[in-house]
């Protein structure tokens, strides 16, 4: 399990928004997004999924 930090989020983003983005990009995640003001954490099931998320969302 790899915990990812997702930063620079709008204060209006919801967990559902993040789930949809991950699903649309076909990036597996496990559990729920831990959402705070401007950032979130999520678990990816393996190193490959974590790297795919980093490569997909880095700089966006």
Nearest by Cα to 45 from 26, 57, 55, 30: 30
Domain range for 29: 2-57
The structure's pTM equals 0.87
Rounded to whole angstroms, the Cα distance separating 40 from 28 reads: 16
Q: What is the CATH number of the domain that holds 22?
A: 3.30.70.330
With beta carbons less than 8 A apart as the criterion, state whether 32 and 19 touch. no
The pLDDT of residue 1: 86
Instruction: Please state the domain count of the chain.
Output: 1
Q: Per-residue pLDDT averaged across 10-36, rounded?
A: 96
- 5-15 pLDDT, tens digit each: 999 999 999 99
């Amino acid at each position: 399990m790899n915990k990812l930090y997702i930063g620079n989020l709008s204060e209006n983003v919801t967990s559902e928004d993040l789930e949809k983005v991950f699903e649309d990009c076909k990036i597996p995640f496990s559990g729920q997004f831990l959402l705070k003001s401007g950032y979130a954490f999520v678990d990816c099931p393996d190193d490959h999924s974590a790297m795919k998320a980093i490569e997909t969302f880095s700089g966006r």
